[in-house]
């Protein structure tokens, strides 16, 4: 994808040049982490990394997350100590694997599960706006992964593989209740399907494992995210229950045989933050959707999702990945006892320490991308699957070139947007925007994007030439979408300027916007803005805020 570093007008004709994207975020608990060789900080994957699933292969650990309508799909991480995680790629990184055109931002890929068996990795998931349930395989978790294998027998979501030690394999999943007759709103069930590894297909009828949840008489809702595991000769079925908001939880069932019957643990839920006082300091909420892993030293650990509201249930960072030890109590696994809050600082697993990753995933950090590689770093995503090459990297000069197109931020198609996650409630993101005579009539700049109807856009406008005259000067603008689109501020940029640096800062619910001309100082642009419009409490959906570079043609 590399392009020439020529500085002539022709090299940039029709493209917008971005340089030096910088992100920094502050976590108040980083200063309290006194012994990083003995402790770690939660969350381990900060920002929009929901629905974690984990697997160990000898001394190596691999973790995947949901990606919804962002492309490439299903980020995959590697670690050797369960604390320091390095992204090695995406499972679904080819357009043929992941058609997303027309999908809303909170559609697409739900709840992947990663497993390893007989020398191959398996990732199974649901594309709720595409082919439905499917799985892919790979010999190397960094890829390439196979084309999707459809599983039309599954009528629900959240499938998970289980490979028993007798050579048999199964898929457990969320589905409709028996006879497709829900007894109440949110009534779902967990089902088991036999799977033939040799043919790669479902090999028999499904079997009901759990109807409704832990106690159907109490009308439990949204039993989902199931995983099967085996410990000391017994089968354990863990699952999320209660929905993905503050009532979210993780529950467990146990059976002597894989087919059941499964009895619920009397101490359920084994993880939840519901019922804790809302006034507690820096709360973590909505915990659940866990997966377990046993280390090579016999410790058990759980990864799970949770949220960090900055106030009143508002959070812009999405659902994040946390890590806690699992304790076995009277033959049952427990993550946290009733009434216990998720700790921010935890003692590390008994594993050799790994070197910190190039891109930190937790705590306070800053990172700058100079775009000098031949490919975009893995942390950048596109909104839905690109169908044409509208971006280029000029690695020698350190530039990312984006071609503006007609697709706006409210589209359900693929706009000219390249973005990365907001990973902290307190953050700053900035990028340089260079001007060229060949820039088309367009709007280009920096966005904070939650979904099609909720975003901020700090940009530079190049007007269309009129009556054969030269194009007019550039205009700085701030645009907000909170349902409808609104122009918040505008100002002319002095004609001699060769570029501008744009910056978005967030302090919880307050977002501020800045610009800096070459050789000048930062100036705030427009008044402070209400950042709660980027929270799912306002915007709805399941994703977190993205920050990135966007360009559109003038309509």
> Does residue 187 lie in a domain region?
yes
The predicted-structure confidence for 266-290, as pLDDT tens digits, reads as follows 999 999 999 999 889 999 999 999 9
Record the pTM: 0.95
The predicted-structure confidence for 152-180, as pLDDT tens digits, reads as follows 999 999 999 999 999 999 999 999 999 99
Cross-strand pairs, 292: 302
Q: Which listed residue (17, 27, 51, 408) is catalytic?
A: 51
> Does residue 354 lie in a domain region?
no
Structural domain containing residue 50: 28-347
> Does residue 291 lie in a domain region?
yes
Same domain, 62 and 153: yes
With pLDDT > 90 as the criterion, what percentage of the chain qualifies? Answer: 92
Same domain, 184 and 140: yes
- 254 contacts 332 by C-beta, under 8 angstroms: yes
Same domain, 373 and 515: yes
Burial of 416 (0-12, 13-18, 19+ CB in 10 A): buried
Same domain, 487 and 539: yes
pLDDT for 278 equals 85
Same domain, 332 and 397: no
- Catalytic, 51? Answer yes
Distances (CA, A) of 510 to 306, 406, 539: 22, 30, 16
Mean pLDDT of 374-403: 95
What tokens appear for 373 in the block? 């590689």
Q: Which listed residue (224, 241, 408, 452) is catalytic?
A: 224
Same domain, 446 and 474: yes
The CATH number of the domain holding residue 473 is 2.60.120.200
Same domain, 336 and 368: no
| Rounded distance between C-alpha atoms, residue 459 and residue 526, angstroms | 12
Sheet holding 474-482, edge to edge: 70-71, 381-383, 416-421, 546-553, 442-451, 454-462, 474-482, 484-492
According to DSSP, residue 521 is labeled: -
Same domain, 428 and 519: yes
Same domain, 394 and 518: yes
Confidence grade of residue 7 (pLDDT, cut at 50, 70, 90) = very low
> Does residue 321 lie in a domain region?
yes
| Rounded distance between C-alpha atoms, residue 222 and residue 190, angstroms | 10
What is the phi/psi pair of residue 68, to 5°? 55, -125
Residue 470 has pLDDT above 90, yes or no: no
Which distant-in-sequence residues (6+ apart) come within 8 Å of 490 by Cβ? 475, 476, 477, 478
> Does residue 3 lie in a domain region?
no
Same domain, 386 and 343: no
- Catalytic, 158? Answer no
The CATH number of the domain holding residue 47 is 2.115.10.20
Domains in the chain, number: 2
């Amino acid at each position: 994808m590399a392009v020439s570093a020529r500085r002539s007008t022709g090299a940039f004709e029709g493209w917008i040049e971005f340089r030096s994207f910088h992100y920094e975020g502050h976590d108040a608990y980083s200063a309290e982490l006194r012994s990083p060789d003995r402790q770690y900080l939660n969350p381990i994957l900060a920002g929009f990394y929901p629905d974690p699933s984990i697997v160990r292969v000898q001394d190596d650990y691999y973790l995947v997350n949901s990606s919804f309508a962002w492309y490439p799909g299903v980020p995959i991480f590697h670690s050797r100590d369960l604390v320091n995680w390095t992204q090695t790629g995406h499972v679904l990184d080819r357009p043929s694997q992941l058609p997303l055109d027309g999908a809303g931002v909170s559609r697409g890929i739900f709840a992947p599960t990663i497993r390893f068996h007989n020398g191959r990795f398996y990732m199974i998931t649901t594309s709720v706006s595409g082919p439905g349930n499917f799985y892919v395989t790979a010999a190397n978790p960094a890829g390439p992964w196979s084309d999707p294998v459809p599983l039309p027998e599954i009528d629900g979501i959240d499938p998970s593989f289980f490979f028993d030690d007798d050579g048999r394999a199964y898929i457990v999943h969320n589905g409709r209740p028996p006879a497709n007759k829900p007894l109440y709103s949110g009534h779902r069930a967990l089902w088991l399907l036999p799977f033939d590894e040799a043919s790669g297909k479902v090999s028999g009828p499904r079997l009901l494992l759990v109807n409704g949840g832990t106690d159907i008489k109490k009308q439990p809702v949204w039993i989902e995210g199931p995983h099967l595991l085996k410990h000391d000769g017994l089968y354990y079925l863990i699952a999320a229950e209660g929905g993905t908001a503050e009532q979210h939880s993780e529950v467990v069932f146990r059976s002597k045989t894989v087919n059941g019957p499964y009895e619920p643990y009397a101490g359920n839920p084994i993880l939840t933050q519901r019922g804790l006082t809302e006034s507690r300091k820096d709360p973590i909420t909505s915990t659940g959707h866990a997966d377990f892993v046993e280390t090579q030293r016999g410790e058990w650990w759980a990864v799970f999702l949770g949220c960090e509201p900055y106030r009143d249930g508002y959070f812009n960072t999405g659902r994040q990945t946390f890590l806690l030890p699992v304790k076995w109590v009277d033959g049952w696994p427990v993550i946290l006892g009733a009434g216990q809050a998720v700790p921010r600082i935890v003692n590390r697993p008994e594993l050799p320490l790994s070197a910190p990753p190039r891109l930190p995933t937790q705590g306070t950090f800053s990172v700058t991308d100079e775009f000098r590689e031949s490919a975009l770093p893995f942390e950048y995503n596109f909104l839905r699957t690109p169908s044409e090459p509208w971006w280029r990297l000029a690695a020698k000069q350190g530039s990312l070139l984006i071609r503006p197109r007609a697709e706006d931020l409210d589209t359900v198609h693929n706009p000219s947007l390249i973005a990365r996650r907001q990973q902290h409630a307190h953050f700053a993101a900035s990028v340089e925007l260079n001007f060229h005579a060949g820039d088309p009539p367009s709007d280009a700049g920096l966005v904070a994007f939650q979904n099609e109807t909720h975003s901020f856009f700090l940009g530079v406008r190049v007007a269309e030439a009129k009556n054969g005259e030269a194009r007019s000067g550039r205009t700085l603008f701030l645009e907000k979408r909170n349902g409808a689109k609104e122009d918040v501020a505008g100002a002319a940029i002095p004609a001699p300027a060769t570029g501008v640096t744009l910056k978005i800062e967030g302090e919880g619910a307050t977002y501020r916007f800045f610009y800096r001309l070459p050789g000048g100082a930062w100036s705030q642009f427009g008044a402070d803005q209400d950042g709660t419009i980027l929270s799912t409490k306002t915007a709805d959906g399941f994703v977190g805020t993205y920050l990135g570079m966007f360009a559109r043609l003038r309509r």
